[in-house]
């Protein structure tokens, strides 16, 4: 089970809700993924079109924990403002702190990220912080009290998978709070690999929403996260340079 703050989850896959080809496909992908935590962004409502459909109206909200993000914020102040608005919906008290410091790589601004995380913790939020794979920063975020650290596997939406497994491993080893690998996952093998390294969960969006068949990929990701976790718990064999026979040398036919 995955425990974040005072909540417990059976699924270790957290799913983003952006950029699906249609509401119908999204709904089905969410369903098939068996994710229990869904991320959202906070944006201005088009008040002139009250009939405009919203994904939330399509979902059984009792089944899901909403994880709004602070995407769009470039400073701690902006992130706190978005987080407060998200909480005012009265649907959630979790927040994904996401403060981008570079438009090209979408890597987070470490200083504003730390500042916002601390401010939101003081206000009683359950804070999940998107961070780079910087090992020291991840430790300092944990020391500040965040409920989960969420290092990227590679840049958001890049689909490059885990580009620095060593740093992820260091972060996983040192952490006493859940480590959720967030961003950069491209295929099921990436998710499985990150889980095999010992990650507590995977947060992904584009890998599913942008896949040729998002519903099928949602299923693949569910299985990958589960198999990666099982593989981690089972304990893999050590890597060796040379071969070792798996069949006996004895009782050979002559």
Partner 1 sequence: MELHVNGETLHFAKDTMTMLDLLEAYDIEEKVAAVEKNKEIIRKTDYSQTNLEDGDRIEIVHFVGGG
Binding marks (x or -) toward partner 1, 67..86, rule CB under 8 A?
Answer: -xx-x---------x--xxx
Per-residue mark of binding to partner 1, 152-171 (x: CB under 8 A): ----xx--------------
Q: Which is nearer to partner 1, 122 or 173 (CB)?
A: 122
If binding is defined by CB under 8 A, does position 224 make contact with partner 1?
A: no
Length of the chain: 254
CA distance 90 to 177: 26
Task: Assess 22 for contact with partner 1 (CB under 8 A).
Answer: no
Which of 1, 6, 10, 54 is close enough to bind partner 1 by CB under 8 A? 54
Cα–Cα distance measured from residue 99 to residue 78, given in angstroms and rounded to the nearest whole number: 9
Which residues lie across from 3 on neighbouring strands? Answer: 8
Question: Is there binding between residue 56 and partner 1 (CB under 8 A)?
Answer: yes
- Kindly tell me the burial class for residue 190, based on how many C-beta atoms sit within 10 Å of its own C-beta (0-12, 13-18, 19 or more): buried
| Strand pairing report for 2-4 and 7-9 | antiparallel
> Please, are residues 147 and 128 in contact by the beta-carbon 8 Å criterion?
yes
Cβ atoms 71, 98 nearer than 8 A: yes
Q: Is 96 labeled as catalytic in the residue annotation? A: yes
Of 51, 62, 96, 216, which is the active-site residue?
96
Between helix 110-122 and helix 135-144 the angle, nearest 10°, is: 20
* Residue 216 binds to partner 1 (criterion: CB under 8 A): no
- Give the up-direction half-sphere exposure of residue 156: CA atoms within 13 A in the CB hemisphere: 19
- Chain centroid, CA 68 distance in Å: 12
16 lies in the site for partner 1, by CB under 8 A:
yes
Confirm or reject binding of residue 205 to partner 1 (CB under 8 A).
Answer: yes
Q: Determine if 252 is a binding residue for partner 1 (CB under 8 A).
A: no
Using CB under 8 A as the binding rule, whether residue 218 contacts partner 1 is answered as no
Q: 121 and 146 in contact (C-beta within 8 Å)?
A: yes
Per rule CB under 8 A, count of chain residues that contact partner 1: 40
From residue 175 to residue 194, the character string flagging contacts with partner 1 as x (rule: CB under 8 A) and all else as - is --------x-----------
d(CA 20, CA 45): 19
Is position 228 annotated in a ligand binding site? no
| Residue 184 among known ligand-binding residues | yes
- Determine whether the annotation assigns residue 234 to a binding site: no
Is there binding between residue 19 and partner 1 (CB under 8 A)?
A: yes
The response to whether 131 counts as a known ligand-binding position is no
Element (H, E) at 189: helix 188-196
- Give the residue ranges of the annotated binding site for 1-deoxy-D-xylulose 5-phosphate: 157, 183-184, 205-206
- Catalytic residue numbers? 96
Residues at the site binding partner 1, with contacts judged by CB under 8 A: 16-20, 26, 39-45, 47-48, 50, 54-57, 66, 68-69, 71, 81, 84-91, 156-157, 183, 203-206
């Amino acid at each position: 089970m995955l425990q974040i703050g005072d909540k417990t989850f059976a699924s270790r896959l957290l799913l983003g809700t952006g950029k699906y080809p249609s509401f119908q496909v999204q709904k089905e992908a969410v369903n098939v993924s068996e994710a229990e935590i869904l991320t959202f962004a906070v944006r201005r409502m088009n008040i002139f079109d009250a009939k405009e459909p919203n994904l939330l109206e399509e979902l059984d909200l009792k089944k899901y924990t909403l994880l709004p993000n602070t995407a769009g914020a470039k400073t701690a102040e902006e992130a706190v403002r978005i987080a407060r608005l998200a909480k005012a919906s009265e649907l959630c008290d979790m927040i994904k702190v996401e403060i981008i410091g570079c438009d090209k790589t979408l890597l987070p601004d470490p200083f504003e990220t730390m500042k916002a995380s601390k401010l939101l913790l003081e206000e009683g939020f359950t804070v999940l912080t998107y961070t780079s794979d910087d090992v020291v920063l991840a430790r300092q975020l944990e020391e500040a009290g965040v409920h989960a650290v969420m290092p990227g596997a590679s840049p958001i939406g890049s689909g490059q998978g885990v580009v620095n497994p060593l740093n992820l491993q260091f972060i996983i080893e040192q952490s006493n709070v859940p480590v959720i690998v967030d961003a950069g996952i491209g295929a099921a093998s990436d998710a499985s690999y990150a889980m095999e390294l010992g990650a507590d969960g995977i947060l992904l969006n584009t890998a599913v929403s942008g896949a040729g068949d998002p519903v099928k990929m949602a299923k693949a990701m569910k299985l990958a996260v589960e198999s990666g976790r099982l593989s981690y718990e089972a304990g893999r064999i050590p890597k060796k340079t040379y071969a070792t026979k798996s069949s006996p040398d004895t009782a050979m036919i002559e």
